[in-house]
Structure 1
């Protein structure tokens, strides 16, 4: 008990005397002031010598003190609050001063604007936290420092920056970080509590009354950061980390993307000067691309050029263009892109390091957990866990909608280097072989869902044009392979993982399209390593699926390799089949009729050698399509008529489908040469065969019927019988769209647009525009025709403002 008057007591003694004089128990005063009994007891016992101003005001009101008495109580509390150390004087608040800002900082305007809004929104009960996370080299620290300098005027009570050394073997502990923060706030060493919790409590009590900006750079995890974040007060905390720190609650997230190409060039310009960039503008753009628009890589390239004022940008571009030398070229003094990646790589556990470097062997721009699991030898679940861990670490980027992952280009090069260094050729080959076998089996099984030879699993499929887009004709021979498919699930018995296999045609389509680069790489590797039967099985299964994606140029490679595989196995019949597929691909996928004619002629020779009338008919048809595109009409007519005679003499379902293709192609060619009435009769003959049906082809015949209707519609349009032409074209378009046959649907849409325009139909404009965009996506040569038709329609129709935009 203080024996003196309250004016001469310390805060605790003064508070206890005032409470006693007021006749209040600790519980009563605590309840009236809105503080805890424990907090009040700590104040009276001297454990808390300098409570916050707002707490003192609440106690004064609860005690009913006069203004003078309340002022005396506040004065006693102020004397107990921490003061700057005498030896530091006024310089104490700069003990953790912000690092120097980068004068050539570029871009990030929207992200800076959002942080400014966040700073303005802070208040006594709204301390703000922004996490700036992402892959190595994004410029997180540079951004945070630049932002802190820009925001400094909003935080007059202090701006502190603390490096948490998250990439070091021993990151800064929260206890040590709190000691530095308390010291920067002026707390004497002797007054800093021993325990982490007590330090955190003191730090938060000091920060709560100040408008401060805190930069926590290079954080390792949430446990390191949480004790350092103020709990109250108008503060702003910026946290940078290579980890996502997803466990931090109620925080703002600043997502830094790669620079845009023009921003990367602007950064380079600010480093080396506008004159050098202007003198080699294209080289500057190429350099930005080779750096992957990664800020650190661009800065390193710029600093390297700055140190060599007479070196041309093109010289560095040439060096970086060689992938094996790119990481070597991206170093300037102590700045090295490889070192930045190595810091993160060394932090990973062994399985995650293995997953990262093996995933760099995947083909294509992204990869699935299946591919990662196969390459790394992990289970699927473990692969997902590793991929998510690497995403949180900023070493992989996850797709926004699907479970797929991708590298930054430079990180992929670094990971591939580690695969070479740590795994060696034997382990690499084992991983790639395992992946190849699995991918080809899955791709073959998935593709069979589209094969009419297995109609229970198939829904559509017809394959390839002879004369023009939208005419089936890639069926070829009946399967010479024993796929051993069951009637109810033709694909599952082939799949390497039946439990995880696509369950229907739609799932198969999604998988085949998503994994296109990976199964194509597997096919390529199998061919190069002499596994020719695997190549043939996969390509044969793919031939109906290929109709769904006629714009894929890859089909040329697929069927070129399969034709070569058949030749190497000595099978002339299979060689004829796959050369016909190749002719189809040259005709429709890459629009190279000369190459198509060579392939078709080779297929014709092979078919005649083995007396395969079906393949002979197909080869004649594909040759006719190529000759038509080359403008050699008489020869095209001759081959089509010969093909029709050849196929009419056969009775198999495959021959009937082939005959339909030839008839549709013949009708198209007749129309193109002005013999429209003959064309119409030919297409109607084809339609009659479709109506009669083909045994065992109940589903695919619907597509042939749609092709016949497309031909009939175009014939009627050529005869200017516009009203009659509209219905069959709409029917054909609906059938192609229902079957997801975009390569056939878009040309039909354009045909319909011409008819609607002739009728003055209000749908003509939208039909032309959709056809133009769809054909452009397919890289179809008719896209220019669609654009011209749209422009012409706009000129002749009122109310078309904004057309084509």
Structure 2
């Protein structure tokens, strides 16, 4: 509720149609677990002018709402209770309830003096909001109720700002409070907090200017003088009242509890949607379930084996449908730790490689991209280690061979695997094989009636029997024919028998199974209107895992606001299926493989090449436009990225606004589609669009750690730019690849690639590209200890970014340069660079840049001996990286906090920070980083008189350092071990 109404079920987002159903749901949620009268719901829907049928319409809407919630598996019940309805929902399942209870608890904790903890809880509560409460609702009654919650949010923000000012965080809060006052200019409490923050930061004149601006605005807007709080505050500032200074209590920072997020263990839910009208295969399903749940998956020695079910069968028999249904049947109770799913594309020209699939699975299991190994064996080892002891179901759809499947099998007997394939896959060890039969006559009729309607089947029972016999019990063909008849209610079933027989006779040169489906498809396809036939054919060109609705508009160059309407005729006749519902409520669509092949044949035979090429260019242009929008929302503009002259196609602005509510989440959901679009652009000769899309997507891949996709898109696009002699595009891709190699620690390769790109950028006089390369080359020089060279390159990069007014590029350089200045003891210069960087990043709303600059500031403060100040800064950054789900950044911040508190002599606190840092490192399987943390923690334990525990940690660390070739770290840890234990470890 804290934003647009958003419902999440066990299998992902649940779509509640906008309009009356959403209004009713929102009203019931506002009074959750209380009775809401029908009269109140009528008022919410129609204000003061309800129709005569209002109560009946409410009842219909509630009935549909119940059905939608039930289909989505949502844990709520809507009971009919006089004089209306009662929605029962656990409090923890409702974000508004979580917000109010957290705020209440935080305020109680604050009254007990636990200021830092209370401030953190309030920030966490406010972070639940995704916009205005019930954003997008037009109901006047709802808006009035929602405004109360909006007001509570602002009060909570003011509360945590006041608490953090008490903790002495005034300098880091100035930018945030300034932004909030611009958004809420009439809130005097925010103005007062800004004045205090400015005054304590040594900016007395600006604090007084804030008062005068507030007074002028209040007089002009409302004809009122400022309230007593602001007036007294102005007088206190003018008088230099000592009570405005940071309270003494803030001089000694509270010991903040190292509080991890609720859970660091990712629990993926990747199963595709179940089929509502599934029928048949009961015996097969029971046998498969017994294998998956352990009843039959037992080795000769009596030990439990991994349950593996391989489902095979002819095209159209429903292998994927059965696998999805079976997965949902066992998932909730037997595999609560998650379900992994991948379409292995066995029937496509390029099946998915096990290496790439493992990368996606590891990411879904919570491993950040930089931590994922670069080789197949390393990925398989990490995958099996992560799944050891966890109850996870793995579904591998459309496998092509045992070689593709074997690296994806878990090693733990607590897991299970479902595989579908056209091949028998006899080389999969211990697999229970099911050769899926076609449906018998009774089950074919049951499926036919579920799609078409039992009344029409009963009315022409003999014709229905003849139809299902004609299609041979193939579920796909049964569904297609039933859907075709459902879309033509005036057609008799007998007429369809004759049409299908004629079509089969025309296609009698085909194999029986293929002939059956082709006949069904041909009849349905030929019955579509011309626009739907063209759309069906053109859509088949796109290889992404799902099709968003806007893509239909791009394919036909139709700019209507709801382009998904173009797809509904295809869904109605089951030529496309709805695969999922996005968080925005938008449907996602997909082809079955056989339908895609059929559609591509139609495209080649019936659509002119120029029309096909135009559709590809518009779709690629749509992805490019959306990727640009995502980048702008993250970075505050077109900063730190190069663009080319590829054609853009702009989706509907309202769709863009909805999709970009969280641009990084949107990008993560669409990444496979955008990677496919890069390949599509290369195949179509759109070399300019291919590199532009690849480097734009890379800036987002970098933030979420999607390194495989980063490399894949760039290597694909490079083939096109080099073949076309596109020097700028080639340089842009090489420069971006250089950043990737830098991220992976491949320093020599990064140096070579960045220099090659820089040479071309200088020759082209392209300053932004040159600035990006020099920034990264400076970081390489810094890593090599060549600080003078690094400072020279940073200076050139600042000049490059200045030429194109890339202020965020400048801010990233200033943040990095401060590290060298601090290391040299030039603390004032380092602080000045970081202050500039934070001001730039805050001005454009680039939260990631603010966090990095603040972290660097904390390190500068610690290096200069301001340990308490450093701790306050780093605690603030820790909250920021946790909100952004940056687990690598969280590990770094926890380690930094351990270093700072240890340097201040607060060893118990340091121990707690280091312990939590070690937990994070182990969760993401960062063994190198874990060894570094163990060494630091051992130093603390030595200080607290626990030599045995310290020696144990050092032994583990030395083993990792030796294995990874980290000689300097190994020698230092070995020396510490000798000092603590009085003995040297034997050489490895």
TM-score range, shorter chain: 0.3 to 0.5
Largest Rg, 1 or 2: 1
TM-score, normalization by structure 2: 0.39
Given the two structures, how large is their TM-score scaled by the length of structure 1? 0.47
